[in-house]
Structure 1
Amino acid sequence: MHDIHHIPLSDIDADALPRDRISLAPSALSELQASIASLGLTHPIEVWAKHDPLPDAPRHGLISGLRRLTAMRALGHTTIPAFIRAPSDIAEAMTRMVAENEIRAAISPWEKGRLVTEAVAEGLFPTFDAATDSLYRTLDRHRRARIRAMADVVAEIGDHLLTSPETLSQNQITRIAFALRADLGPLITTALRTSKQKSPDAQWKTLLPILLEAEETARTPRAPLYREGRPRRMAQVRSKLHIRRERTPDGWSLRFTGPEATGPLMEDIMDRVEGDFGQTR
């Protein structure tokens, strides 16, 4: 049985590891605070003793229990019950954190992929494959493969283009990953960057035509419809005018975005189309 230590909150570094949680839900945190205020903290957090802490810096790094630590701080406690673990290195500490959260906390698919990319960026693992296999070693091969695909999506799109990436479902991220494998990454990032609609639902609707094209192309045998280097899916004809080709249920559309995408310009384009393909009747 491991001893429980009561460690000062000021002596715990919550950011010692890349976390697998982007944000804490206020409602869930409030419920946890109410439970702790009524019943006390029933499950100690996990920390490890740093080997070489900086002067006046916390001597312990948090492994698991971010919500519990945050709630205890909000309630004004000065110490917290904790198990002191002895991981062999930071990578092992991260693996313990992941294992704990797989049991206790609902970590979104995006957050899992993000943790893999951060672990590699921090130099803790050489590749996404190595990070996934180590951090999620308790999962079966198919679930690890899904997380590995999520890491590709996070690496390609990043956190800054999507308003609330942690709200994306497993199926949504899988569809985006499929489109990335079809070399539609630049089209996806351009669509998100140039769209003025920034709500999660609107951003998903922006992506749907691109995802549908990738999926339709995979279902349909390739035919020599285009010359080499085509089809073109987007063009920037001026610095403030972007054109993007999109698949629709019954055909294709050209989407014009940017400050120069004005009504008069659309009239000019319609005139040019009529001139090239024949007058309307």
Structure 2
Amino acid sequence: MTDHIQNIPLNEIDTTTLPRDRTIIDADAQQELQTSIAQNGLRLPIEVYPIKAGYGLISGYRRLTAIQTLSETTKDSKYTTITALIRTPKNRQEALAAMVEENEVRQNLSPWERARIVITAHDAGIFDSITTALTTLYPQISRQKRFKLRAITEVIEALDGHLIDPEQLTQNQLIRLASILRLDWGKIIIAAIDEQNDLSSTTQWNRLLPIIQEAETRLSENRSTAPNRPRRLSNPKNGINIRRECTPNGYLLHITGKHATDMLMTSVLDQIELWLGEI
């Protein structure tokens, strides 16, 4: 059967058959789309493919969501179906590649989102390796761009769930993170993140930047980049974490944990004064 367009019921469309690459939907933009569809109709069909029980969504998630919302809020029967291009991919890999290709053209996906779909597709068993997922989903990009995407997938594997709004990070920021993760500085990065609940991606990045800069400086000067030489982390007892941070003017010791009390800090300072007085 060749690709063709027809109206299909909303309740026959499954949005979960393929992992989605868009992880954040802008509420204002979605409202604008919904208003446009209400006033002018759906100008571009969504894309679906046949599955055992209806259709799986390839592209057009935002358009479908807008129609579903209009159906729920207006109760108008004209919103019970949606115009769709029914495609006939050979398998899920081809369907997913079609979705990524469509979104590459129509959506301004962040570097994190572009790499995240690779991880998601691999974890879902659609591809047997990250490399296969990359080459199938992004066949047109250059080798250098694919290398950068592969590096970002390593950041996702190491730090997904730790970073605040990672979609806000630039490609350069993610590549810098990937570089120091390859130096085995992941524990130091996570320790810094866990020290405080930052409120934004920017404040969290500023917390991580001194660590990244230290690693980059040592690497450029051909000095040891081993994460524990010199020591940067210490856990002397349960509930106490100490992290050493290099700054332009010296060093900072971050002492955190449930037992990091005023009394303990006073004792630490007293001991430091005694020790330094003996040098």
Is 1:221 aligned to residue 222 of structure 2?
yes
Aligned CA-pair RMSD? 2.0
CA–CA distance in structure 2, aligned partners of residues 164 and 116 of structure 1: 18
CA–CA distance in structure 2, aligned partners of residues 146 and 106 of structure 1: 17
Matches within 5 A, 1:127-206: 127-158=129-160, 160-206=161-207
Task: Render the CA deviation track for 1:219-248: whole Å, top value 9, x for unaligned.
Answer: 11226x99x962222111121111111121
Matched residue, 1:45 = 46
Unaligned stretches of 5+ residues in structure 2: 72-78
Q: How far apart are residue 187 of structure 1 and its match?
A: 1.2
Is 1:61 aligned to residue 56 of structure 2?
yes
Matched residue, 2:14 = 13
Structure 2 counterpart of 1:200, which letter?
S
Matched residue, 1:233 = 232
User: Is contact 1:116–1:132 with CA below 8 Å preserved after alignment?
Assistant: yes
Identity among equivalent positions (%) equals 42
Matched residue, 1:256 = 255
Matched residue, 2:74 = none
Task: Render the CA deviation track for 1:90-117: whole Å, top value 9, x for unaligned.
Answer: 1111110000000001111111121111
SS state at 1:75 partner: helix
Unaligned stretches of 5+ residues in structure 1: 54-58
TM norm structure 1? 0.90
Q: How far apart are residue 193 of structure 1 and its match?
A: 2.3
Q: How far apart are residue 61 of structure 1 and its match?
A: 0.3
CA–CA distance in structure 2, aligned partners of residues 119 and 232 of structure 1: 38
CA–CA distance in structure 2, aligned partners of residues 196 and 238 of structure 1: 22
Q: How far apart are residue 279 of structure 1 and its match?
A: 6.6
Structure 1 counterpart of 2:176, which letter?
R
CA–CA distance in structure 2, aligned partners of residues 165 and 203 of structure 1: 10
Q: How far apart are residue 2 of structure 1 and its match?
A: 4.6
Matched residue, 2:76 = none
Q: Report the number of matched residues.
A: 271
Matched residue, 1:29 = 30
**Runs of 4+ more than 6 Å apart:** none
CA–CA distance in structure 1, aligned partners of residues 228 and 33 of structure 2: 56
User: Is contact 2:4–2:87 with CA below 8 Å preserved after alignment?
Assistant: no
CA–CA distance in structure 1, aligned partners of residues 26 and 98 of structure 2: 22
Task: Render the CA deviation track for 1:4-25: whole Å, top value 9, x for unaligned.
Answer: 1101111101111011011211
User: Is contact 1:99–1:138 with CA below 8 Å preserved after alignment?
Assistant: no
TM norm structure 2? 0.91
User: Is contact 1:178–1:214 with CA below 8 Å preserved after alignment?
Assistant: no
CA–CA distance in structure 2, aligned partners of residues 174 and 152 of structure 1: 10
Q: How far apart are residue 201 of structure 1 and its match?
A: 2.1
CA–CA distance in structure 2, aligned partners of residues 28 and 216 of structure 1: 42
Structure 2 counterpart of 1:257, which letter?
T
